[in-house]
Structure 1
Amino acid sequence: MKLPPARYALGIALVCVPLLLALLGPLAAGPAGPRSVSFSVGPGHWLGTDFAGRDVWRQVLLGGRSVVLVALGATLLAYLLALPVGLAAALTRRTWLQEALMRPLDVLIAVPSLLLVLLVAATLTPGPAGLTALVGLAAVPDAARVVYAAAVEVSSRPAVEALRMQGESWWRTALGYVARSLRRTLAADAGIRLTGALYLVATAAFLGVGVEPDAADWAVMVDRNRTGLFLQPWAVVVPALLIAALSMGVNLLFDAALQQGGRRKGART
């Protein structure tokens, strides 16, 4: 069995650390101790305390779940909505239906995702579920365009025409053949889409949208402690590095997987 390439191993390392902290951190955080106004690092406060006197390490353990799970949920929601829309527009022979599906998405693409999230979130109560829905919906237009552009080429293949002539159902043609042919394209796009979701979630949290102002959240930690960066750098540097590591790791893993899949396909041919 071959050892994974260096890029693959690095991607695993970068992804595992923030994921483990996000999933298991709240279980290991323990009860909140007494607050201290001292920023010094020492026993009981291995990363010091933040602007409110809370233990930074405990905030790190508690703050990943909201960012990571919301970004993952938003990415999944975006593809669940974008995939059927893109496939329907690519496979339909009715021009009016294609226009009805894709032209509204073109209008939404012209609106910056962060602006859309800010405008809608202004009328909603802060919460992870609402933020997940907002970020996911904001990513649908771009994801649907990617699915549509890739599916148009696949839908023109003789195999798709043969499936239609055999009377296969739309779902069997779209999901059984076309969607399977898009796996590499969607895998490449998923890394970018998740990175964008992480950026949007972190930025929204940084601006106080979708989370409480004093929530244990990596992005909120960066925002609330940035004024004391030189006095207590760990409260800003650690959560910022964790967000960056997850984003970089995801893209490295997808790149390595795509390269490995390309080598296998080339070896078979």
Structure 2
Amino acid sequence: MKHARQTLPRYALAVALIALPLLLALLGPHLAGSAGPRSVSFSAGEGHWLGTDFTGRDVWRQVLLGGRSVVLVALAATALTYLIAIPLGLAAALTRRTWLEESLMRPLDVLIAVPSLLLVLLVAATLTPGPVGLTVLVGLAAVPDAARVVHAAAVEISSRPAVEALRMQGESWWRTAIGYVARSMRRILAADAGIRLTGALYLVSTAAFLGVGVQPDAADWAVMVDRNRTGLFLQPWAVVVPALLIAALSMGTNLLFDAALQKRDRWKGARR
């Protein structure tokens, strides 16, 4: 009971931090309505309860429209990362051919030495801005690090007697890799997913802040922070609100995964 009471506040805080950004990202475009006439840049009041942005658009409407691009691109990029990293890490860990393992993992070590943001910026400079391209770039940029996490965990699990027994029974590679090794890695992958999603949010937001992958006047929380910072002291809400929403989503995601993992560990301990 004591452990449950300690975990509950973390769950509540995580849900509170995540709820508003997610609701705005999912429902905001449906609630935004039509754009009214533009007003004076960085003005307060005049029917705009959060003021106007650098082009005179209503800040609240831009907030409602700007979350979907950040949240959905980060989620899609994280999913793409694991779709590639899990099979790659499992293949390298379960192969009995050292040359194949080295061929799969050594190139990833080289890519890890290149900062993810720099890689995104270099590739994006040659592409047309767009959410699909940004999703692919952010997802691929995280593959080397995620694949190494999967590989390290799978190497330890593949040395267990149960894996050798499955091999001796003639079980298929898929049954051994997915049915046993991947299932045994669920806790590690869940912990890594929180970090990976936060990293994707950081990359997507930073890329958008720098004008990569989105139009310079797009309804996007990160773009709002960048484009409205010149009027921070005239109309701060155009910067403060989207910045707080991005920060709340990142912090809440990590807290939620941490609380879920702690609850699972205590539940397993109680069963024993």
| TM-score bin, normalised by smaller chain | over 0.9
CA distance in 2, matches of 1:67, 1:98: 35
**Which residue of the partner structure matches residue 175 of structure 2?**
172
One of 77, 80, 87 as aligned partner of 2:90:
87
1:192-233, Cα deviation, whole Å (9 max, x unpaired) = 100100000000000100000110000000000111111110
**Which residue of the partner structure matches residue 209 of structure 1?**
212
CA distance in 1, matches of 2:41, 2:221: 21
Structure 1 residue 39: Cα displacement: 3.6
CA distance in 1, matches of 2:171, 2:10: 42
- 8 Å contact 2:44–2:235 — kept in the other structure? no
Confirm whether residue 64 of structure 1 aligns to residue 71 of structure 2: no
Residue pairs, 1:156-195, within 5 angstroms: 156-195=159-198
Structure 1 stretches of 4+ moved >4 Å: 1-4
One of 24, 29, 33 as aligned partner of 2:27:
24
Q: Report the TM-score, using the length of structure 2 for normalisation.
A: 0.97
Structure 1 residue 44: Cα displacement: 2.6
Q: 1:126 to 1:38 in 2, by over 3 A?
A: closer
Residue pairs, 1:29-108, within 5 angstroms: 29-37=32-40, 39-42=42-45, 44-108=47-111
- Measured on the aligned residues, the alpha-carbon RMSD in Å equals 1.3
**Which residue of the partner structure matches residue 124 of structure 2?**
121
CA distance in 1, matches of 2:96, 2:39: 67
Stretch of structure 1 that moved more, 36-45 or 191-200: 36-45
CA distance in 2, matches of 1:52, 1:250: 32
- 8 Å contact 2:51–2:59 — kept in the other structure? yes
CA distance in 2, matches of 1:145, 1:6: 33
- The one-letter amino acid paired with 1:119 is L
The size of the alignment, in residue pairs, is: 269
**Which residue of the partner structure matches residue 270 of structure 2?**
267
Q: Percent identity?
A: 86
One of 135, 138, 143 as aligned partner of 1:132:
135
Specify every segment of 5 or more residues in structure 1 that has no aligned partner in the other structure, as ranges: none
One of 141, 144, 149 as aligned partner of 1:146:
149
CA distance in 2, matches of 1:46, 1:178: 54
Q: Report the TM-score, using the length of structure 1 for normalisation.
A: 0.98
- 8 Å contact 2:41–2:55 — kept in the other structure? no
**Which residue of the partner structure matches residue 9 of structure 2?**
6
Specify every segment of 5 or more residues in structure 2 that has no aligned partner in the other structure, as ranges: none
SS in 1 for 2:183: helix
